[in-house]
Amino acid sequence: MRKKFLPFHLPSIGDEEIREVVDVLKSGWLTTGPRTMQFEQDFKQYIGSRYAIAVNSGTAALHLALEAIDLKAHDEVIVPTMTFAATAEVVRYFGAKPVLVDCSHDSFNMNTEEVGKYLKKNKGKVKAIIPVHIAGLPCDMDRIMDLASDYDLKVIEDAAHALPSKYKGKMVGTIGDITAFSFYATKNITTGEGGMVTTDDEEYAERMRMMSLHGISKDAWKRYTSEGSWYYEIKYPGYKYNLTDIASAIGIHQLRKCDHFHKRREEIARAYTEAFSEHETIIPPFVEPGNQHAWHLYIIQLDLDKLTIDRARFIEEMKAKNIGTSVHFIPLHLHPYYKETYGYSPGDFPEASHVYQRIVSLPIYPGMTDEDVNDVTDAVKDIVNKYGKI
Ligand SMILES: *Cc1c(COP(=O)(O)O)cnc(C)c1O
């Protein structure tokens, strides 16, 4: 057994990030400024989108996206039940209704057939769809974009896990109307807290930029530089969602390492899938040929019919072997707020309710050594061998 606990996640912060942060601290300019502008430039170039606006969280990114498409209180937004709190709460910020949909039977992504069925029965009510690329596995974007055009909807992608994901060769961040990324501490690249919105639409971009900083007219941050003036105008009551240059200093270097990080994540995923291939108690994740999985998470499903223990016990056994794991996610419809507000019950989303009992996320991050990876596969195999039904 491992001597030292393997955390479920550790960020990879190098000397480059540290040096750049120190430079910012010494520069006299801490908030949104030249580093953030550079981070935005680098990010839009990396993604291939026309615009990128840095914000202080992925949640802020989603909120600004819905504001830009002019979401109203009487509107509905289709959201997968299998996601994090943020994806649906931003809909509630407007007083609008998040309509939950089940996941598909072979991935944890939103079931587009269910989306189609709902739209057919509820014409005119839905304003947008928020597909979430769970773990970094791209959703069926062709189908989602077709539905959006058939029913005149906007597509806001929750790409918190999807850097760098590709759908049929296209970078996630260039497909839907607006895409939201997160740089939360556990995400594929991090700024501690932070996020980015990308879009090709100039109007959306201008609106989001303005609303990210109090709804103040353009280039408000320049007010305090030699180029700026004291004058500004409040065009709308906006938000305080701008990203600091301290955070962007980290982000600039994290982004440069993004492909390198991803390569390591792919290696780990490959090693896991290979190790579990002869164990029928474990259903590993997959990616369709032609698509790129970002491997933010590696989620296995336990075949509980073939095991004498449940998922909670599996996690305890992993912990006893000094390995941290997690669960992504507890579906929204099982949480008190959504249950009580919308009357959802577990049976409403049978796939998500079913897989929720069986999913475990294994550690997958660039800082893991080959030995760490072996320790994880050995631990998983030990447990399923010990508790397998014969
Ligand atoms: C992390 C995450 C978010 C929110 O990101 P923050 O930067 O923490 O606000 C949104 N959606 C999903 C699916 C996430 O995992």
List the catalytic residue out of 44, 154, 187, 321.
187
Give the orientation angle of helix 112-121 with respect to helix 141-151, to 10 degrees: 10
Strand intervals (E) in the chain: 51-55, 76-80, 97-101, 126-129, 154-158, 166-167, 170-171, 178-182, 195-199, 282-283, 298-302, 359-362
In angstroms, the Cα distances linking 290 to 165, 277, 293 are: 11, 22, 10
Give dist(CA 92, CA 98) in Å, integer: 7
* Ligand 1 centroid from CA 280, angstroms: 32
Ligand 1: which residue has its CA nearest to atom 7? 58
Nearest protein Cα to ligand 1, atom 1:
160
Q: Which amino acid is at 264?
A: R
Task: Establish whether residue 160 lines the binding site of ligand 1, counting it when its CB lies within 6 angstroms of any ligand atom.
Answer: yes
Atom of ligand 1 nearest to the CA of 328: 15
Active site residue 339: no
Question: What is the CA angle 375-316-360, rounded to 5?
Answer: 70
> Distance, CA 370 to ligand 1 centroid (Å)?
29
Residue 33 CB burial class (10 angstroms; 0-12, 13-18, ≥19):
buried
> Residue 272 C-alpha to ligand 1 middle, in angstroms?
25
93 within 8 A of 86, measured Cβ to Cβ: no
Evaluate: CB of 356 within 6 angstroms of ligand 1: no
- Compute, in angstroms, the gap from residue 114 CA to the centroid of ligand 1: 24
Per-residue pLDDT of the chain (390 residues; tens, 9 = 90+): 899 999 999 999 999 999 999 999 999 999 999 999 999 999 999 999 999 999 999 999 999 999 999 999 999 999 999 999 999 999 999 999 999 999 998 899 999 999 999 999 998 999 999 999 999 999 999 999 999 999 999 999 999 999 999 999 999 999 999 999 999 999 999 999 999 999 999 999 999 999 999 999 766 556 666 777 788 889 999 999 999 999 999 999 999 999 999 999 999 999 999 999 999 999 999 999 999 999 999 999 999 999 999 999 999 999 999 999 999 999 999 999 999 999 999 999 999 999 999 999 999 999 999 999 999 999 999 999 999 987
Q: Pick the closest to residue 363 from 249, 265, 251 (CA basis).
A: 265
The residue whose CA is least distant from atom 6 of ligand 1 is 58
- The predicted structure's pLDDT at residue 273: 98
| End-to-end Cα separation, the chain, in angstroms | 25
- Mapped onto helix, strand or coil, the DSSP state of residue 79 is strand
* CA–CA separation, 98 and 95 (whole Å): 9
Indicate if ligand 1 lies below 6 Å from the C-beta of 182: yes
Ligand 1 pocket test: pick from 156, 172, 184 the residue with the most ligand atoms within 8 Å of its Cβ. 184
